[in-house]
Structure 1
C-alpha cells in the first residue's frame, strides 16, 4: 500500500517542479519549447487524475468503515494507532487532491500560453495585411 503513496508523492513533486518551471520568466524560445514538451507529456500523465480520485475514494471508504477508538475501553496504544491512521489518511488525501490540482494548473498554464501565441500570430498577420 505504501508504494502507491510514494509514487503519488513523486508525481506531485514532478508536477510542482513543472508548474514552477512554467511560471519562470524564460526567454521566448525556451519557454515555447518547455510548453510544447509539457503539453505533449500532459496526455499520458492524465492517468494520474483517475488514480488520485480512486485513492480519495479509498480513503473515504476506509474512513467510513474504520473502527472508532474514542471510549475509555481503548488503551493508549490503540488510541495512538487510531490517531496515526487518521493523520496518514489526512496526509494522503492532501496528496491526492494536490496531484489533481497541480495537473489542472499545468494544463491551464499550457493552454493559456498556446492561446496567447495564437493571438499574437493573428495580430502579426493582421498587421502584415
Structure 2
C-alpha cells in the first residue's frame, strides 16, 4: 500500500519540477521546444488524475470505517496510533489534490503558450500583408 503513495510523491515532485521549468524565463526558441516536449508528455500523464481520484476514494472509505479512539478507555499507544493514521490520511489527501492541481497548471500553461504562439503567427501574417 505504501508503494502507491511513494509513486504519487514522485509524480507530484516531477510535476512541480515541470511547472518550475515552464515558468522560468527563457528565450522563445527554447521555451517553445520545452512546451512542445512537455505537451507530448501530458497526454499519457493524464492517467495520474484517475489514480489520484481512486486514492482519494480509498482515503474516504478508510475514514468512514476507521475505529474511533476518542473515549477514556483508549490507551496512550492506541491514541497515538489513531492520531498518526489521521495525519497520514491528511498528508495523502493533500498529495492527491496537489497531483491534480499541478497537472491542471501544467496543462494550462502549455495551452496558453500555444495560444500565444498562434496569435503571434497571425500577427506576423497580418504585418506581412
* Alignment TM class, shorter chain as reference: over 0.9
Q: Which residue of 2 aligns with 1:97?
A: 97
TM norm structure 1: 0.99
Q: Which residue of 1 aligns with 2:45?
A: 45
Q: C-alpha distance in 1, partners of 2:106/2:90?
A: 24
TM norm structure 2: 0.99
Matched, 1:27 2:14: no
Q: Structure 2: 5+ residue runs without aligned partners?
A: none
Q: Which residue of 2 aligns with 1:56?
A: 56
Q: Which residue of 2 aligns with 1:127?
A: 127
Q: Structure 1: 5+ residue runs without aligned partners?
A: none
Tell me by how many angstroms 1:54 deviates: 0.5
Q: Which residue of 1 aligns with 2:70?
A: 70
What secondary structure is seen at the aligned counterpart in 1 of 2:31? helix
Runs of 4+ in 1 over 2 A off after TM superposition: none
Tell me by how many angstroms 1:14 deviates: 0.2
Q: C-alpha distance in 2, partners of 1:33/1:4?
A: 32
What secondary structure is seen at the aligned counterpart in 1 of 2:71? coil
Q: Which residue of 2 aligns with 1:6?
A: 6
Tell me by how many angstroms 1:122 deviates: 0.3
Tell me by how many angstroms 1:123 deviates: 0.5
Tell me by how many angstroms 1:77 deviates: 0.4
Aligned length in residues: 129
- Alignment root-mean-square deviation, CA: 0.4
